[in-house]
Amino acid sequence: MSDMTGKVALITGASSGIGRATAEAFAAKGARVVLAARRQDELASLVTEIEARGGKATAVKTDVSAPKDVERMVAHAMETFGRIDYAVNNAGIEGQWASITELAEDDWDRVLDINLKGTFLCLKYEARAMLAGGHGGAIVNIGSVNSFLGFGTGSAYVASKHGLIGLTTSVSAELAPQGIRVNIVCPGFVDTPMHRRARGIVGDDLYDKGVLPSVHLRRAGHPEEIARAIVFLCSDEASYITGTTLTPDGGYTLTV
């Protein structure tokens, strides 16, 4: 895969799970990384780990649902490294699982504000920086298999993830003529803190007997496997790919 030495990658939701693995994957390719999330201690720990391996990293506390935070995040990246070549909009929450008749409006708003509005805000300021730099770039939004599959009690999460596909294809069409590619990765079941919380709700027995048999590979994915797909979409090897949905799900969506 392309050498990314000298390039700059911005990753939201970088404190754990897929975001953390993606930051490590970019750093391993030589990119300088900007880590954004709400949990400062976890970000600081990751900066230390990346720099101990010879990489370059910086962190900025960010709530992606807050416009000023997102604007400051992008400004921090530009002030620190002078450019943004790759952006991964990974920050997201699952919210409260609840029947549509019981789902609180505040819970709905919180999920949509972070997962969908947050991605819109990131795209807005990331694209501004890339356009000002004049060197193009690549952006990857992080959806889910729930970007096209619904499930009971998950209406807010599912709606937010469905929205990301429309947002991605629209922004791809807008920015492609200016050299910025925009794609979306929609992972299946991946062993992350969010996934483990969902598994706890479902129960190990039902998960092992009812969910995993629907995955062709009969296992959850690893964050590093999703990270490699994200880095690929940002690389020169993916130079003719934009507006595309990539679904690393172990074959799950082929069986439902």
Q: What is the full per-residue pLDDT of the chain (256 aa) written as tens digits?
A: 678 999 999 999 999 999 999 999 999 999 999 999 999 999 999 999 999 999 999 999 999 999 999 999 999 999 999 999 999 999 999 999 899 999 999 999 999 999 999 999 999 999 999 999 999 999 999 999 999 998 889 999 999 999 999 999 999 999 999 999 999 999 999 998 887 887 766 677 767 777 888 899 999 999 999 999 999 999 999 999 999 999 999 999 988 6
> How many other C-beta atoms lie within 10 A of the C-beta of residue 63?
17
CA–centroid distance for 137 within its chain: 16
Q: Does the active-site annotation cover 157?
A: yes
> How many other C-beta atoms lie within 10 A of the C-beta of residue 94?
18
Contact 64, 119 (CB under 8 A): yes
- Residue 3 φ/ψ region, left for φ over 0, alpha for ψ in the -120 to 50 degree band, beta for the rest: beta
- pLDDT for residue 204: 76
The correct answer on CATH 3.40.50.720 for the domain covering 8-254 is yes
| Cα torsion angle, 42, 47, 50, 51, sign | negative
Parse the chain into domains and list their residue ranges: 8-254
Give the burial class of 247: count Cβ atoms within 10 A of its Cβ; 0-12 exposed, 13-18 middle, 19 or more buried. Answer: buried
- pLDDT for residue 195: 75
> Which among 125, 157, 207, 240 is annotated as catalytic?
157
The rounded radius of gyration (Å) of the Cα atoms in the chain is: 17
pTM of the model: 0.95
- pLDDT for residue 1: 67
DSSP the chain: ----TT-EEEEESTTSHHHHHHHHHHHHTT-EEEEEES-HHHHHHHHHHHHHTT--EEEEE--TTSHHHHHHHHHHHHHHHS---EEEE----------TTT--HHHHHHHHIIIIIHHHHHHHHHHHHHHHHTS-EEEEEE--GGGT---TT-HHHHHHHHHHHHHHHHHHHHHGGGTEEEEEE---SB-SHHHHHHHHHH-HHHIIIIIGGGSTTSSPBPHHHHHHHHHHHHSGGGTT--S-EE--STTGGGT-
